Structure 1
């Protein structure tokens, strides 16, 4: 990248003074040296604390270092720092800008200059000036701009990551996996972070420039950008648009008309491009979209990041570290609680030191951009040290108590009838049951649960209807009792609920209720089993299936009750990836004790076949054929069948195949041609739907590795 000089001002007399001809930013060599290849086609991109090379060439006269000083200046808004060019032998100052000059083969007309920033410089787009000064005059040149990023390769950088294999995964890799569903049926969704796609780095810099912090005080914001803790809070708030001109607008219910349904996104680049071009928030995002976009921005800025899924994540709005759930006496979950448990919630972890807290809190930090609660008046969460969550250091900033509740809150489940609590259980293990991230170099999950949680015991208590009338705390809307008062001996009757196999669209959903009578007398019981569809982040909707049965169980007997929901009973309510809340209430007809067991599971969908000509590795800017197909494995004819494929960086828009009728065993196919404009990892996403179903029946993904031709 050649940068033509521009004379900006001259003081005194410049007769005979040496003039600059051009400056070469040596982008190719610097990008390779600084591990920034592919991040920008417009700017030189370098990492702080590491020298980068520029070549300067003078005009017809030679530069005389005895009479003329060469001074460089970096500009950042109204801030600037001047520093003289030094000769070899002098050490770089890690706390200030510095430069060394080496003569090239061109004698005194061509030189190589190595410029080094302080280790904790601000992340930003800088302007570089060159001054040629004598005692009488100064000629100044604006020679170009460069982008400075964090440097996880450098030991003194607060984001330093010692193992290169970790840097490759958490900085350089442009591909990730998001885990979704329920602990019983975990699905995975590939995600293209897209940091090497054209314009993505520039979009990340724009994000910093339009932040409220920058708009209020540009100079202060520039100075504070040296701190990854500060950067992570700014970016976290800017990924959602609740307080600012941020990237994404969230939506969890209702119609997604006027935007893109969150499940249709497969990469960050498309979202960032839309945000820049429209100058308005992109519609719509949910937790995994927010977290994945944040991960892209942080990796671009040089802060190691990864996407993390918490299964059964609590949203504790009142800070009680306790979530209440209400069920009817027949097992229907009621929408009475202000708190909630998401089947899965996705946030990001970012790697950095925490000098504001102490070295024991260094390492991975939770940064959650999904707008749930305000932190210091802004919708952001973190950075909260994972070590602080595990150690129950709830006062460690930022938002550690909220994160702790997300992974380790207690769940109080109340059975209510006619406004009275007639049964109660407390679960200390259900929240944060699994915490997953993508493994290094593999799509398999890495289990992070132990880094967040210490092992605790589970206890269950029940209360009869007679006790409920006696208990002054029995009203539904009264404050629940302290957890210590709920501890007690195990009941004489144990009830559990399990799902047989992996529920799949088009097949029976089989389940099993197990009742164990540990008392010395027979018991006459009423079983109520209830199924409700639910969104992963909210309470269930109205029940779509239920059954009731009277049973008798003998002393010491273990009774197994099998049930199945046929496709005809759920197909008008459920589609692929939908989640079901299942609950059983067992009532002792003599004592009126009630026992509750719950289970939530997701429905797997039939697979769409995606075959790429020549395999999953393709050449950039070369056409490749993709064949997609879906076979109707249902026992009935599907009407209005639609097979759709899209892929950011591979296809323009979406491509569809349609059939009015798709008979059982019949195949619907689509052939498309893909062309990748940039190297890296892309994702093809295919969906299948039909008019008989309430939503998408099947969704499949294919990872595509793009190499330079």
Structure 2
């Protein structure tokens, strides 16, 4: 009888990837999740397979690591090592003979690109065959995997969803902007695997690196460092200077694919430029692609405590101008990611969400990276827990000390224990594009200590101490002896409108007071101190016994329009009230963003968008400015548009532009169409988005 002869081996890429929920991920290899079997078909000619005479062995190769796996005809798979079981032998007179084999990977397998070999041993010969490669990812659907997530809805949100919202602005006027994570775009998964391969850990000791890649804690730490380029061949270079002539303004990125493609196409040269939300969004893409549940998180009023004393000091002039003094700072917002994983390296129950921050701020064990820091450890103030819990704890809990100075002399101080970490949020799971407040996951609801206000009279003299409720004297409200002061915006500012705000002064004493009022508005970038003053007002006023005085101010659109329409530019508004007789002072301040006008997207026949069928959308925008604006309209949509749509526009004052967009969906499920108008001379980006549910044919 003819000898058994291998004809071909079918890795069943389509069927396996559907079962492993990796369908849609674009790779040059089969894509699988660990801890879950996959099947291959072995077609052969000749005599029937005889398990007593014929032996099959798989060899699983990952770099310098390899494991031989004999195919057994019965038994149970091993939870700790690779195993292979012959499922059935099906003779087919039309297609020769076929064997179906299930391969089982342990749930603790290393993430990486494997090569699969098959050795066939018969009495007459031994022949080896290279079957191809497969990429193995973490598996949040597998209970034994350290990234297992119980809820199917959350797995879909934090692994399979390829778009989301990033939150920016200020706690009182949160601005959301869409982002396309793009993990299904062409070649993105392969680029993510290359990112692991190019890490300093892999270059220094490939064997050790591959063994460690069984742990999402290790992977998160590697990716946190590799998304920035400070220590390695990382993806993004940071730039907060406002000058981007030799690269891309961070505000113009709308998704991760363009960044990762550019990194790969330039032989892994860093992409210019990123800021915190770009670093975080790209890391979210990589982690989701690797199978680790991840979400993007914004911390409003985020402290950068460079000297680890848990106090951030800010300095103001006696006229309310914020001064560029000191290394510590409070960012109006800072964006990082959280990834879901077990923490067997920590004593106690610290499984769950872990902070990972790829923005290069401080080094961790010699490299610019941060985390994973267990959110529960931050909440419990367990600052001894690795990794970088003290730094994250300070970002959400540091005290803010505001100081009024003149000629190097301190005139007044206030301490606020509430403003840092005022709001911590992420996108709410599900189709609705809404915000989820997760502040309580980081911070306890314990009673806050009262802040202390100290005003030093000019010319030496003694000091007086006053206590008030938490937050007074620092942000929005304040007191000096017998005088209460508050600052309040009339409404959330919008580009094209005046900024209206009210200063309220209350005299709680039975004597009149002569006061001097200074009001100051400065441009401010979200991550550091303000630049110059663009508007100010000052006057003297007398307030009667037990009287309340309300003063309304307006900053006209013309005052701020040339400075304040950039997407990430904010306003620092401060009021200093001085008691002329005692020369005591109180400072109240408010930092806020000015909302940009939005583009509108409408989908024709929105309720019946069908895969592989041409659809139509319309992008509209009304120019609110009193001058014409020019710029590039860019429309993207992962799974909807093969290529971005780009066109040059000029829009006259108050004119409404309408542009039709054709698209053909190529994936079912929830998708996002995202339009941005990049204005030429204002260095700003106006945005709009629309979620689309694509149905099967």
Normalization by structure 1: what TM-score? Answer: 0.90
Preserved CA contact (<8 Å) 2:632 2:649 = yes
Preserved CA contact (<8 Å) 1:429 1:458 = no
Change over 3 Å in CA distance of 1:469–1:21 after alignment to 2: farther
Change over 3 Å in CA distance of 1:678–1:54 after alignment to 2: same
Measured in 1, the distance between the counterparts of 2:262 and 2:308 equals 37
SS at match of 1:106: strand
Aligned to 1:662: 652
Preserved CA contact (<8 Å) 1:420 1:468 = no
Aligned to 1:613: 604
Measured in 2, the distance between the counterparts of 1:380 and 1:697 equals 29
Cα deviation for residue 109 of structure 1 reads 3.1
Aligned to 2:315: 326
* Residue 24 of structure 2 corresponds to residue 38 of structure 1: yes
Change over 3 Å in CA distance of 1:121–1:66 after alignment to 2: same
Measured in 1, the distance between the counterparts of 2:607 and 2:274 equals 28
1:100-119 to 2 correspondences below 5 Å = 100-106=85-91, 109-119=97-107
Of 459-468 and 334-343, more deviation after overlay is shown by 459-468
Of 675-684 and 331-340, more deviation after overlay is shown by 675-684
Normalization by structure 2: what TM-score? Answer: 0.92
Measured in 2, the distance between the counterparts of 1:532 and 1:617 equals 49
* Residue 430 of structure 2 corresponds to residue 445 of structure 1: no
Change over 3 Å in CA distance of 1:287–1:683 after alignment to 2: farther
Preserved CA contact (<8 Å) 1:504 1:603 = yes
* Residue 187 of structure 2 corresponds to residue 202 of structure 1: no
Aligned to 1:220: 208
Preserved CA contact (<8 Å) 2:319 2:518 = yes
Deviations 1:198-247 (A, max 9, x none): 21111111111111111111111110000010000001111111111111
Cα deviation for residue 187 of structure 1 reads 1.1
* Residue 439 of structure 2 corresponds to residue 454 of structure 1: no
* Residue 178 of structure 2 corresponds to residue 190 of structure 1: yes
* Residue 531 of structure 2 corresponds to residue 541 of structure 1: yes
Match 2:83 to one of 84, 95, 98: 98
1:632-651 to 2 correspondences below 5 Å = 632-634=623-625, 636=626, 638-642=627-631, 644-647=633-636, 649=638, 650=641
SS at match of 1:156: coil
1:304-703 to 2 correspondences below 5 Å = 304-441=293-430, 442-455=432-445, 456-457=447-448, 459-466=450-457, 469=460, 491-575=481-565, 577=567, 578-615=569-606, 618-619=609-610, 622-634=613-625, 636=626, 638-642=627-631, 644-647=633-636, 649=638, 650=641, 652=643, 655-659=646-650, 662-663=652-653, 665-675=654-664, 681-687=671-677, 689=679, 691=681, 694-696=682-684, 698-703=686-691
Preserved CA contact (<8 Å) 1:270 1:648 = no
Unpaired runs of at least 5, structure 2: 464-477
Aligned to 1:145: 133
Measured in 1, the distance between the counterparts of 2:145 and 2:526 equals 39
Measured in 2, the distance between the counterparts of 1:234 and 1:618 equals 40
Preserved CA contact (<8 Å) 2:140 2:147 = yes
SS at match of 1:451: helix
SS at match of 1:382: coil
Match 2:283 to one of 294, 304, 310: 294
Change over 3 Å in CA distance of 1:436–1:312 after alignment to 2: same
Aligned to 1:80: 66
Preserved CA contact (<8 Å) 1:46 1:149 = yes
Cα deviation for residue 464 of structure 1 reads 3.1
Preserved CA contact (<8 Å) 1:122 1:224 = yes
Match 1:285 to one of 271, 274, 280: 274
Cα deviation for residue 17 of structure 1 reads 5.1
Aligned to 2:117: 129
* Residue 164 of structure 2 corresponds to residue 171 of structure 1: no
Preserved CA contact (<8 Å) 2:90 2:97 = no
Measured in 1, the distance between the counterparts of 2:63 and 2:686 equals 51
Cα deviation for residue 525 of structure 1 reads 0.9
Preserved CA contact (<8 Å) 1:610 1:628 = yes
Cα deviation for residue 507 of structure 1 reads 1.1
Change over 3 Å in CA distance of 1:708–1:215 after alignment to 2: farther
Aligned to 2:474: none
Measured in 2, the distance between the counterparts of 1:237 and 1:369 equals 6
Change over 3 Å in CA distance of 1:683–1:377 after alignment to 2: farther
Match 2:256 to one of 268, 284, 290: 268
SS at match of 2:78: coil
Match 1:249 to one of 207, 229, 237: 237
**Structure 1 runs of 4+ with >6 Å offset:** none
Cα deviation for residue 682 of structure 1 reads 3.8
Aligned CA RMSD, in angstroms, stands at 2.4
Cα deviation for residue 588 of structure 1 reads 0.7
Match 1:120 to one of 108, 114, 124: 108
SS at match of 1:213: helix
Cα deviation for residue 620 of structure 1 reads 5.0
Cα deviation for residue 493 of structure 1 reads 2.3
Count of residue pairs brought into register by the alignment:
673
Measured in 2, the distance between the counterparts of 1:558 and 1:340 equals 35
Unpaired runs of at least 5, structure 1: 1-14, 473-487
Aligned to 1:66: 52
SS at match of 1:109: strand
SS at match of 1:464: strand
Measured in 1, the distance between the counterparts of 2:457 and 2:436 equals 48
